[in-house]
Amino acid sequence: MGCRAEAGAAAKGGRVLNIHSPPAAGSIDWAAAATQLERQGAAVLPNLLDAATCRRLAALYAEEAHFRSHIIMARHGFGKGEYRYFRYPLPDPIGTLRTALYARLAPVANGWNERMGIETRYPAEHQTFVETCHQAGQQRPTPLLLQYGAGDYNCLHQDLYGDIAFPIQVAILLSEPGKDFTGGEFVLTEQRPRMQSRAEVVPLRRGDAVAFAVHHRPVQGTRGSYRVNMRHGVSTVRSGHRHTLGIIFHDAR
Ligand SMILES: O=C(O)CCC(=O)C(=O)O
Ligand SMILES: [Fe+2]
């Protein structure tokens, strides 16, 4: 399955950034993250949110007023489980995280486009990028909360919601592996030209985020860079409940 359209329709400079917008905690080594994104198309951002914030955000799932739509994955062939897209204004700290993460990821995204021979460059500030989305008719917010129970899974997909797409997105694990749930691993696949697909499991603890390629990324070959096609998904949850917060930087048509 390809695009997960709406159902129915390196950082140079400072090594360590504290995302100061409380209660989001964690200091991220952005130089290391940029290197991982270059080499693997994904980077773990350890301990981005503290346990209390993870619990608070997971509990939002039940509060319908925060959301603009509710997707039952099995109805669309997306897997098994469910998710809800937030409404604007995004609850704290999702909006501030989206802005802060974007600012760190935009230079990486611009480097990728340069190497892939794609002309598009992303502005330094998320607000400017979102205005471009809105002018192109992509006006609906894409941050989402996902909820999985035993037997649920998320098929490999790409979160594209229109012509404009920021090439990196972030998912944050809000539940504690081994305690709240078992199974349910975050999986990335990479398809290289004329080769079979390669899968990678990204080990996450509660509060860890993974930044990863939405659809394409450059890989360094012997004769320059070439483009690979990435997808992500979640393996079957064996027991318990698993919640994730997805932060996608482009808005949806
Ligand atoms: O639940 C997950 O770990 C994956 C979530 C996802 O597909 C996303 O955030 O786009
Ligand atoms: Fe996704």
Residue range 120-133, pLDDT digits in tens: 999 999 999 999 99
* 157 Cα–ligand 2 center, Å: 6
Instruction: Please report how many Cα atoms fall inside a 13 Å half-sphere around the Cα of residue 122, on the Cβ side.
Output: 27
| Whether the CB of 180 sits within 6 Å of ligand 1 | no
Instruction: Tell me which of 94, 146, 147, 241 to substitute to probe ligand 1's pocket, judged by most ligand atoms within 8 Å of the beta carbon.
Output: 146
> Measuring CA to CA, how many Å separate 196 from each of 60, 189, 227?
40, 10, 14
pLDDT in tens, 73-85: 999 999 999 999 9
Give residue 186's Cα distance to chain centre: 11
* 5 Cα–ligand 2 center, Å: 10
Residue 35 CB: number of other CB atoms within 10 A?
A: 15
Q: Which atom of ligand 1 is nearest to 173's Cα? A: 3
| 94 exposure class (CB count in 10 Å sphere: 0-12, 13-18, 19+) | buried
Q: Is residue 2 part of a domain?
A: no
Q: Is residue 54 part of a domain?
A: yes
**Domain housing 240:** 16-247
Q: Is residue 191 part of a domain?
A: yes
Read off the CATH number of the domain in which 226 is found.
Answer: 2.60.120.620
Query: Tens-digit pLDDT profile for the chain (253 aa)?
Result: 346 655 544 333 344 444 444 344 348 999 999 999 999 999 999 999 999 999 999 999 999 999 999 999 999 999 999 999 999 999 999 999 999 999 999 999 999 999 999 999 999 999 999 999 999 999 999 999 999 999 999 999 999 999 999 999 999 999 999 999 999 999 999 999 899 999 999 999 999 999 999 999 999 989 889 999 999 999 999 999 999 999 999 999 9
User: How many domains are contained in the chain?
Assistant: 1
Cβ atoms of 207 and 26 closer than 8 Å: yes
| Whether the CB of 234 sits within 6 Å of ligand 1 | yes
Q: Is residue 136 part of a domain?
A: yes
Q: Is residue 3 part of a domain?
A: no
Contacts of residue 59, Cβ cutoff 8 Å, sequence gap at least 6:
none
| Whether the CB of 159 sits within 6 Å of ligand 1 | yes
| Whether the CB of 154 sits within 6 Å of ligand 1 | yes
ipTM above 0.95, yes or no: yes
